[in-house]
Structure 1
Amino acid sequence: MATEQNPGLLLVNLGSPDSPSVADVRRYLGEFLMDERVIDSPYLLRLLLVRGIILRTRPRKTAQAYRKIWTAEGSPLVVTSRRLQQQVATRWEGPVALGMRYGNPSIAKGLEQLHQQGVRSVIVIPLYPHYSMSSYETAVEKARSVASRLKHPPRLHFLAPFYDHPIYRRVLAENTRPHLEGDWDHLLFSFHGLPERHITKADQDGDHCLSREDCCFEDHPTISRCYRAQVRRSARHLTEDLSIAEQRWSLSYQSRLGNDPWLEPFTEPTVVRLAQQGVRRLKIICPAFVADCLETLEEIDIGVRRVFLEAGGEQFDLVPCLNAEPAWASALVEMAPEALSHHIDATD
């Protein structure tokens, strides 16, 4: 039984289809892409784009990608998230549940499980190191929406994006260091991309983000909501923590959807350029994700690997995400109590 002193934890990640079948992938993509914080077009236009165009062709291609990485236990993201939940549960003095923003297990299911265990106060941990409207913000708003419909809404507390938290920085460096032993030429940070308009939307003043090349490293109130600034700072933090020379690393963005302007440079042309410049042994890391998933295991470790090797590269190594490492579970438990100062009533 939980108490106010020992609230429950709800770990939240993106989600996955129930299976790699076209039907399940279509259902999952429909929920994901109809989120107004993912495709931020007016509802009718979003409906036409998603159901009238994207869901006619994309599910089959995406299902093929999922089949390449699907395991006997299921989706790698869900399997790893459950393992992390188990690791956290052995360290936290209170119930721990798992909820996915899209698909199963749902956030509603996670909150229901916590309620059945007597939880009246919940620390929600969106498993996103960086803030963006299409990841952290939508997870927070979904949890609030679900909780508000419960007969007895719990008190919700949210762990803030932790990209610059000393505890996160330490565990990310510890997880990365062994994978950078030996000979290698270049380390590429591949972060999930975003449309540029998502960045400018987060700029409440409207005159800072994307205004100049170095805007991400200036002190400005919008940094707390600027994904581009946070991922660039995150890469700089890790290279400083591991003493990696500036000329040995670079940054790119993956997973572009649609034809709108997105953050650049893109990952695939970046690895081609690196190979043409003489990089033969490439390390690649994806710190926007804390668990290996479709975007790391298929898009990067299969697709981008092939592009790099065909361009003349000789060795390609993907640095694993934090996944369910015991040190990562301990880090989450160590950071979680800080969320208690960030209380939001579900009915606010």
Structure 2
Amino acid sequence: MNKKAKKGVLLVQLGTPDAPATSDVRRYLTEFLMDGRVMDIPYMGRTLLVKGVIVPRRAQNSATTYKTIWDENTGSPLMYYSLLQRDMLQEQLGEEYHVELAMRYQNPSIESALRKMEGMFLESIKVVPLFPQYASATTGSVIEKVMEIMRKWQYFPNVSFVNSYCQDEDMVAVFAENGKKHNIDEFDHILFSYHGLPVRQLGKVDPTGQLHCPDSGCETCKVELNSFCYLSQCYATTRAITSKLGLAADRFTVCFQSRLGKTPWIQPYTSDVLHDLAQKGVKKLLVFSPAFVADCIETLDEIQVEYADEFKALGGEEVVMVESLNGNPKWINTLKRLVLSN
């Protein structure tokens, strides 16, 4: 514990199983999918679907996948990079601050992290969800959980939340620089693949129903129209990165991965885009994943293995993933600035 600390910072990442074993993956998936902001259907239906269908079918296969990305020394890549970001930010902020890391699902839990901070009698706590684009299922869920836990405290420090930073210049610069590590001109096309969401969740962000958002979004959607629209923030991030790289509009495509279930999700789906590009004779793809600030199962397996194999089976030759922000000092500077800003 940093005894001199007066201010607290809580970094919150999505989560990871404690180990790549079926039992650990089952616990992780259950907690994740039982979140009413993630699986936004009535509780009884959610319970039957998650515990009776999805988790029993997915746990073992997911555990097998986690084993392929698990490092015997450092464990989960997401945990490794998240801890690295915590430690680098702590060094940047100095003794006046105490930085904790929590996972929205599994360990270290938000509750355990806040319990440590409660005993430090901090004058303020800044909560930074590690998701550049706001979504109710990610950032919204983190904020709800923090408020749920802290409402039981007998004293309240000044608490503030970072909602999004989808166009942050330093963050965008890191993604662009990571892309430039590859010879972009050698690739036939560039994908910006974001984690998907059910379409119905887009409309819920506008309780007035006055914005009339399209069913699957519009690439010209601006964050100024609805600053909490996940889709518009994804396009805003893409515009910022492609502008930095000087990419023409016909050189890239925005798409959405990780679809679960049969209900409509944000389109186009990454898998469908792979099929379309392969039919057009595209052979080499470069893929950015700007929804993730640390490499994880979605980047290291879903893109680098699953989608790469799918694309090659369709006649493509190569899928190259641009590394995430991980421990880049410019990304840590972004976090520091978010903490210090009002």
Q: TM-score, normalised by structure 2?
A: 0.93
Partner of 2:9: 9
Residues 262-277 of structure 1: pairs in structure 2 closer than 5 A: 262-277=265-280
Q: Does 1:27 align with 2:27?
A: yes
Question: Cα distance 1:146–1:251, how it changes in 2: closer, same or farther (>3 A)?
Answer: same
1:156-305 equivalence runs, <5 A: 156-181=159-184, 183-206=186-209, 207-210=211-214, 214=218, 216-218=220-222, 221=225, 223-305=226-308
Equivalent residue, structure 1, for 2:84: 83
Residue 64 to residue 103, structure 1, CA distance change in 2 (3 Å): same
CA distance in 1, matches of 2:222, 2:264: 23
Would you say the 8 A contact 1:122–1:156 is kept in 2? Answer: yes
> Are the equivalent residues in 2 in contact too, given 1:186–1:249 (CA < 8 A)?
yes
**Preserved contact between residue 188 and residue 285 of structure 1 (Cα < 8 Å):** yes
Q: What secondary structure, in the 3-state scheme, does the structure 2 residue paired with 1:129 have?
A: coil
* Structure 2 counterpart of 1:58: 58
CA distance, structure 2, for counterparts of residue 2 and residue 209 of structure 1: 49
For 2:217 and 2:35, locate their aligned partners in 1 and report how far apart those are by CA, in whole Å: 30
| Inter-partner Cα distance in structure 1 for 2:39 and 2:334 | 32
Shifted more, 189-198 versus 235-244: the winner is 235-244
| Pairwise CA distance, 1:296 | 0.9
Q: Give the % identical residues.
A: 38
- Post-superposition offset of 1:169: 2.6
Partner secondary structure for residue 199 of structure 1: helix
User: Match of 1:128?
Assistant: 131
Quick one: distance in 1 between partners of 2:86 and 2:4?
Answer: 17
Ranges in structure 1 where 5+ consecutive residues have no aligned partner = 341-348
1:181 Cα deviation (Å)?
Answer: 4.6
1:13 and 1:128 in contact (8 A); partners too: yes
In structure 2, the gaps of 5 or more residues are none
Do 2:194 and 2:257's aligned partners in 1 also have CA atoms closer than 8 Å? yes
- Measured in 2, the distance between the counterparts of 1:157 and 1:66 equals 34
Q: 1:302 to 1:291 in 2, by over 3 A?
A: same
1:116-155 aligned within 5 A: 116-155=119-158
3-state SS, counterpart of residue 186 of structure 2: coil
The separation in 2 between residues aligned to 1:196 and 1:2, in whole angstroms, is 47
Query: What SS does structure 2 have at the residue aligned with 1:71?
Result: coil
2:190 aligns to what SS in structure 1? strand
Cα-to-partner distance string for 1:198-241 (whole Å, 9 max, x where unaligned): 011112332421168647525754x2111111101211211111
Q: Is the contact made by 1:2 and 1:8 (CA closer than 8 Å) also made in structure 2?
A: no
Q: Secondary structure at the match of 1:323?
A: coil
How many correspondences in the alignment? 336
